[in-house]
Structure 1
Amino acid sequence: MITDLNDRSREVFRRIVDSYLQTGDPVGSRTLSRQPGLDISAATIRNVMADLEDAGLLFSPHTSAGRLPTEIGLKLFVDGILEVGNLTREERQSIEGECKATGQSVEGILQNATQALSGLSHLTGLVVAPKSHAPLKHIEFVALSPGRALVVLVTENGVVENRIIEIPMTVLPSALVEATNYLSKRLVGRTLIDALDEIKAELTSHQAQLDALTSKVVEEGLAVWAGGASQSSLIVRGQANLLEDRDAAADLERIRALFEALETKESMARLIETTDTANGVQIFIGAENNLFGMSGCSLIVGPYRDTKERIIGTIGVIGPTRMNYARIIPMVDYTAKLVGRLIG
């Protein structure tokens, strides 16, 4: 729709959105007519603003007030008019310094990257940790108490995950050792997804040469991991930044609802995973998605890839719809690419 605007309408629209992103205040025709470089009368600007309002790009918050961009207008501006800036050397060094800290595990790198984004942007940073695509380096069953055991998985890229499973009360420690040895022979060096069908077939046909209790331990371990193999974990940092400049009780109530969604993390992870096929930074503004529509927030996320150029996770920020998109978009893009190089 932006391409349908003539040069005059496009310039008026750009100036209104620029002013909104800087101040958050409505912009009137008289104010625009006094801006340098815009040689248009206030009457003509009012007509242009009325046309933009009819097109659904602007709205008037109060009678006889100036205009603000609608969420649709803001999205079209970001996609079609916004000129994205470049990070300063200091900003790049700050992100690199956080992410490249020596001795960092994959989880440490992701947490630091999220914290760096939150700190530099003054927004809420988030990252979806890599899915379980990496080959396994270690698997182990550890007894916790009668009827319960801990399954520990370590991937070759350094990710450690633990799950608690239910096992028969009569399982002996020797059965856990046997289950560990059985799966280690079939899983180490392979992904869980690659080996899952083969192991299930062995168990079904009783070719695994395991006793009934040990087979039960293996089955329970596979069941809990198969159910979560395609899931991603979510790290969120800087939630308090969402509360800045939020004085109205209604705003605070909406932000509180968003906090609850962040705590459950499932809705957020599903939303972010829609970027799995994205080529670059994705921007979700306001009501464009159900999660943020009620909170007046926007999401900017970028995917990061492994050495085979597969998308393995996503990193980004949540903030108010009125944020500095020109600065935040390259910040997210740079961080996503850096994380991909460090952990891919």
Structure 2
Amino acid sequence: MIRPDRADTLHAPLQVLDQRSRDIFQRIVESYLNDGEPVGSRNLSRLLPLSLSPATIRNVMSDLEHLGLVYSPHISAGRMPTQLGLRFFVDAFMEVSDLPADERSSIEHQVRAAGQNNSVEHVLTEASQILSGLSRGAGLVLATKAEGALKHIEFVRLDPTRALAVMVTQSGDVENRVLDLPAGVTSSQLIEASNFLNAHIHGKTLAEARNQIATLQEETRQALDSLSQHLVEQGLAVWSGASGDQQTRLIVRGRSNLLENISAQDDLERLRLLFDDLETKEGMIQLLDLAEAGSGVRIFIGSENKLFSLSGSSLVVAPYRDSEQRVIGALGVIGPTRLNYARIVPMVDYTASLVSRLLRG
């Protein structure tokens, strides 16, 4: 399920630490994940099952700091895990269990309810909202712009010089484009052009429909007058003209969750940079590549990937796939480095598998 991206760099600490050091390190990380605060030796002595003096614990904490696994935010404070320490904890100590039955049921009910109107966009938006609500982070869904099979195209006149071209796919997605009408086009010609297109495009992708109409040029000329023929060509071109544009879309819900524990202006600026990066074409491609490179859920902590290096955020992400097992998108949770990884990993994994099954029909 999880790809331990940096497990190869962590064998040395695991071999060096004795059981007592591992116990103390684990308690430091668990305390940090719970409340985000450094923990001192006196508090640790109360948390540990073994009876150890604060002095002994301080010596162990010093050794952990020397290994780069913990640090002290200031001289009189206790210890917190470093980014390396969090990665070490995730790879060596974290136990991931199955998602609780009530959460599985809740996620499935909400996602399936969103899919009842056959809108892929609705399903993905709901998945993002669910992940945000359950994680108290930001839920994120990245979807590629896959060409679906066409069901229907219609032209609806808006005024004497413009019409709305409406394209419906067999999966229920609806896209609208406004196009300019040639001078003199009548309502009957709009209907004639729609009927001709629908007779030839049903079940084909947009690219296949364009090729089909191109091979039927002579038939098109014979079946339609010049204005109606122009409408047919323009009706397909209004979508194909956008094919070189952004072919991915990003859905983020729960951004406000990331602001709850932030007060410093520099932290706010880092979050702004994060979302600016995400919403660029390069950022979305990077995000999809991160998910596609692994077979299941992947965890990125802080600066482990370039996209999150400035914000210091963590990402738990998984791909979702079509019926041919091709990655067609990714979903996950963005949050602070003290995410509850053990809880969020199965949540993301289950939601991704559910969305995959639903989109495959």
TM-score range normalised by the length of the shorter chain: 0.7 to 0.9
* SS, match of residue 101 in structure 1: helix
In the aligned structure 2, how far is the partner of 1:39 from the partner of 1:67?
Answer: 17
Question: Of the candidates 298, 311, 325, which is equivalent to residue 295 of structure 1?
Answer: 311
Question: Of the candidates 78, 101, 121, which is equivalent to residue 66 of structure 1?
Answer: 78
Question: Of the candidates 165, 170, 174, which is equivalent to residue 183 of structure 2?
Answer: 170
- 1:222/1:110 CA distance change after superposition, 3 Å: closer
In the aligned structure 2, how far is the partner of 1:59 from the partner of 1:175?
Answer: 74
1:18 counterpart residue number: 30
Displacement after TM superposition at 1:322 (Å): 1.2
In the aligned structure 2, how far is the partner of 1:157 from the partner of 1:179?
Answer: 23
Question: Of the candidates 3, 13, 21, which is equivalent to residue 11 of structure 2?
Answer: 3
Alignment of 1:153 onto 2:153: no
- 1:296/1:200 CA distance change after superposition, 3 Å: farther
Provide TM-score, normalisation by structure 2.
0.77
- Cα offsets for 1:57-88 (capped at 9, x unmatched): 43332235433223343234324432113322
Identity, % of aligned positions:
46
Question: Of the candidates 267, 275, 288, which is equivalent to residue 273 of structure 1?
Answer: 288
In the aligned structure 1, how far is the partner of 2:10 from the partner of 2:51?
Answer: 19
Alignment of 1:332 onto 2:348: yes
Question: Of the candidates 253, 269, 274, which is equivalent to residue 253 of structure 1?
Answer: 269
1:128 counterpart residue number: 142
In the aligned structure 1, how far is the partner of 2:60 from the partner of 2:207?
Answer: 60
* SS, match of residue 299 in structure 2: strand
1:316 counterpart residue number: 332
Which residues of structure 1 form unaligned runs of 5+? none
In the aligned structure 2, how far is the partner of 1:76 from the partner of 1:310?
Answer: 31
Displacement after TM superposition at 1:330 (Å): 0.7
In the aligned structure 2, how far is the partner of 1:271 from the partner of 1:304?
Answer: 16
**Which stretch shifts more, 105-114 or 317-326?**
105-114
1:226 counterpart residue number: 243
Displacement after TM superposition at 1:169 (Å): 5.1
In the aligned structure 1, how far is the partner of 2:280 from the partner of 2:175?
Answer: 17
**Which stretch shifts more, 308-317 or 215-224?**
215-224
Provide TM-score, normalisation by structure 1.
0.81
In the aligned structure 2, how far is the partner of 1:234 from the partner of 1:278?
Answer: 20
In the aligned structure 1, how far is the partner of 2:213 from the partner of 2:71?
Answer: 59
In the aligned structure 1, how far is the partner of 2:258 from the partner of 2:148?
Answer: 34
Amino acid at match of 1:97: H
Displacement after TM superposition at 1:298 (Å): 1.9
Displacement after TM superposition at 1:331 (Å): 0.8
- Cα offsets for 1:101-147 (capped at 9, x unmatched): 28333333333332222222222222234632432222334444566
Which residues of structure 2 form unaligned runs of 5+? 1-8
In the aligned structure 2, how far is the partner of 1:283 from the partner of 1:194?
Answer: 39
Contact 2:32–2:338 (CA<8 Å) still a contact in 1? yes
1:242 counterpart residue number: 258
Question: Of the candidates 204, 213, 219, which is equivalent to residue 230 of structure 2?
Answer: 213
Displacement after TM superposition at 1:266 (Å): 4.2
Contact 1:234–1:265 (CA<8 Å) still a contact in 2? no
Contact 1:202–1:208 (CA<8 Å) still a contact in 2? no
Number of matched pairs: 336
**Which stretch shifts more, 240-249 or 140-149?**
140-149
